[in-house]
Structure 1
Amino acid sequence: MAHIKTTHVGSLPRTQNVVDFIFAREKGELYDPAAFDVAMASAASETVRRQVEAGIDVVSDGETSKISYATYVKDRYTGFDGDSPRNAPADLKLYPSFLERLKDDGGTPTYARPMCVGEVKSKGQGELEADIANLKAGMAAHGATEAFMNAASPGVISLFLQNDFYPTRDAYLAALADAMRDEYRTIVDSGLMLQLDCPDLALSRHMLFADLSDAEFVKIADSHVEAMNHALDGIDPSRVRVHICWGNYEGPHVCDIDMDTVFPTLMKVDANQVLFETSNPRHAHEWTVFRDRKAEIPDDKILVPGVIDSTTNFVEHPEVVAQRIERFTDIVGADRVIAGSDCGFGTFAGFGAVDPEIAYAKLAALSEGAARASERL
């Protein structure tokens, strides 16, 4: 019997104790660094345990220690200070009453997003090495054999931490690529899979570049991929996964660029595994893009479709999950499909649309659905 592996996008709900420590550090408040380290190690281990219990094959640390998947960079690299302009996604601007509701609910986090005001240089890999050690300790304790570690792509950093130092966007991307290179290699050299988070390849279309045409945006997205591939130079693509999304928030998403439009850009990334949304109501139909453009999918690409939605507290029926998986195994074969989630469940520390217990119930449904699909293959 074939075995369809299971994974997810990376972030998972954090405990209140972890959130309190993260925000104490974020706000410059006094806290006990030793207690911080103990809390992160304990929480990462428990996060691995719960993933294993839910039947997830390729686990992560849940991004336990990070304030968010992109802005954590400001703490690990020089050159960032002040605050970047905040620009709501275009779809939310079309429905201002809903945008206000999100703000009132804490759905538009106002964490620090400093500008790039100086040369971007690594402060060292100490925090990353601690994250890696915590994840590997959790794996050893709970029997996980495969895992990945998230890292921000140069493009998504440029989206949230905007440039006010380098002469051009391309120069900023190049500097970010050079700076992030060691982080990427440290993850791969540790034996973990590297996951690059790239919502800039879709989300930024209606967040930062809404005034451009689709063709103009695709040129920018292509430049982001070029920068990312430069940073990945020398890294085995089989050790890399890339995640694209249109923004991990419940909203109208009526301004999302089509997968069909960004599909060629996504296929250019030097990563064998491609993670993408295909469960939420705005993108569930786009599995047909992969069917209709099968000839354009490189033979070494492994598809990791999101078969559970990360923005709703509905727990998907395992049969729905199985059917979603089978759409892709019918296209590229069972050996080139891993079942994943649309996005993360803890994109920002302290905020998540999905209740923590329900998030793990959804992961369990993901695993059961993958088992059903495997039995039928």
Structure 2
Amino acid sequence: MKTSTDRILTTHVGSLPRPDDLVDLLMAQDAAEPHEAALLAKRVRESVAETVVRQVETGIDVVSDGEMGKVSYVNYLKHRLAGFGEPAPLEWTPADLLAHPGFLASRRQGSNPVRRDPPACRGPIAVQDRAPLEADLANLRAACARAKPVDAFVPAASPGVVAIFMPNRHYPSEDAYVAALAAAMQEEYEAIWKAGFVLQIDCPDLAMSRHLAYQGLSLAEFRRIAARNVEAINHATRNIPPDAMRMHLCWGNYAGPHTHDVPLKDVADIVWTARPQAVLFEAANPRHAHEWEDLKAARIPDDKILVPGVIDTNTNHVEHPQLVAQRIRAFADIVGRERVMAGTDCGFGTFAKLPPVYPTIAWEKLKSLAAGARLASERLWRR
């Protein structure tokens, strides 16, 4: 994994705006509706090539495929793993939205069709179809050969986040379900690494799930679940070098009050025990922008790379480059310039339909990210 040796490198969390026609094809595939599979594959390949070039031109150093071939960052696994079947309703609603029923009702009126009842686990989890992952890796490899980014990463869901969003109706316990998911995901994790890409494990379960599935638990009980999920990640990645991996910590990529988010300081010590070297986390939105101060007193392991979100992915305001630079420098003051990269709070296309930030504005925000990183580099390296 490339790091900030002589300037602050830029990256993001993974998903980017998808072309409208591609979204239609992905939605049809996800709903098992008639669609042209060959056309879908062609449009994914073309869209990956286009988005990688655009990332490099925008100033993003460590790029992704934009998750062009995925309808969401979790549900894509129903096309790759056996064991998922008839949908089941999620048995929770975010605690912060429950506190504002009128706002919750307004959100449901414009709900995203990708977020309908997800497929549930109805049988043993196992790898079923390797072709989608192989296509993702081939598409990104070809795009990088053309655009020549500094580095590239591929996101993959953590066992814990799958357990939250794809309900267990088969295994005797949640522990058993998470263990089975970790065993199955190991193959995807290792395939990404062996293909020469940085593996990014998406871990909203280490933060967001506190006010979702586990809102009724005490903090101590939730911390035990978070530790279990980190243990599952560590087991599934035991063959991969830490410096070939990064992980994303998230409180939910939605524009809500977020008044029930677990504080970073309450889970950070558990996050540091995960094997991935780099940690991406929200640090730009109004609920978490203050937490850089909490990290001053945190015992951050010397080998960890911090990738704070310096761009909010839930507002159409475009951050000024000077603000971006200020945010970057705040973290560099804590761990040193070489241990900081500049990222985004979350993705710009977490779900294929109804992105929270208008697509052209998302690219403006990434342009500002790159400009802010240049300003921070000039100050940090005294050029």
TM range (shorter): over 0.9
Within-5 A mapping of 1:205-220: 205-220=210-225
1:100 maps to 105
Superimposed CA distance per residue, residues 67-107 of structure 1 (whole angstroms, 9 cap, x where no aligned partner): 10011111110111112322221101111111122222335
Say which of 345, 351, 354 aligns to 1:351.
Answer: 354
The CA distance in 1 between the partners of 2:116 and 2:18, in whole Å, is 16
Structure 2: which 5+ residue stretches go unaligned? none
From 265, 275, 283, the equivalent of 1:260 is 265
Q: Deviations over 1:204-249 (max 9, x none)?
A: 1110011111111000110011111110011101010000111000
Aligned partner of 2:343: which letter? Answer: G
Q: TM-score of the superposition, structure 2-length normalised?
A: 0.96
- 8 Å CA contact 2:87, 2:117 repeated in 1: yes
Amino acid aligned to 2:20: Q
Q: Which residue of 1 aligns with 2:54?
A: 50
* Structure 1 residue 141, shift from structure 2 partner: 1.8
Query: Of the candidates 18, 24, 41, which is equivalent to residue 14 of structure 1?
Result: 18
Q: Tell me the secondary structure at the aligned position of residue 308 of structure 1.
A: coil
Matches within 5 A, 1:233-244: 233-244=238-249
Q: Deviations over 1:158-198 (max 9, x none)?
A: 01011111111111111101000000000000000000000
Aligned alpha-carbon RMSD (Å): 1.2
Q: Secondary structure at the match of 1:79?
A: strand
> Percent of pairs identical after alignment?
50
**What is the alpha-carbon distance in structure 2 between the residues aligned to residue 319 and residue 104 of structure 1?**
38
Deviations 1:26-61 (A, max 9, x none): 122222221111100001111111111110000000
Match of 1:248 among 234, 253, 266: 253
**Are the counterparts in 2 of residues 139 and 145 from structure 1 also a CA contact under 8 Å?**
no
For 1:310, the equivalent position in structure 2 comes to 313
What is the DSSP-based 3-state SS (H/G/I as helix, E as strand, rest coil) of the residue aligned with 2:115? coil
Q: Which amino acid aligns with 1:139?
A: C
Query: Matched residues in 2 for 1:303 and 1:173: separation?
Result: 27
SS in 2 for 1:10: coil
Query: Match for residue 25 of structure 1?
Result: 29
Moved over 3 A (4+): none
Question: Pick from 76, 82, 88: which aligns with 1:84?
Answer: 88
- How far apart are residue 112 of structure 1 and its match? 4.7
Paired AA for residue 146 in structure 1? D
User: Aligned-pair distance for 1:108?
Assistant: 7.6
Paired amino acid for 1:9: V
Which 5+ residue runs of structure 1 have no aligned equivalent? none
Shift of residue 111, structure 1, vs aligned partner? 3.6
User: 2:315 matched to 1:329?
Assistant: no
Q: Distance in 1 between matches of 2:371 and 2:352?
A: 28
From 346, 349, 365, give the equivalent of 1:362. Answer: 365
Secondary structure at the counterpart of residue 127 of structure 2: coil
Equivalent position amino acid for 2:248 in 1: H
2:29 pairs with 1:34: no
- Out of 55, 61, 69, the residue aligned to residue 65 of structure 1 is 69
Equivalent in the alignment of 1:155: 160
What TM-score comes out, normalization by structure 1 length? 0.97
Q: How much does 1:288 deviate?
A: 1.1
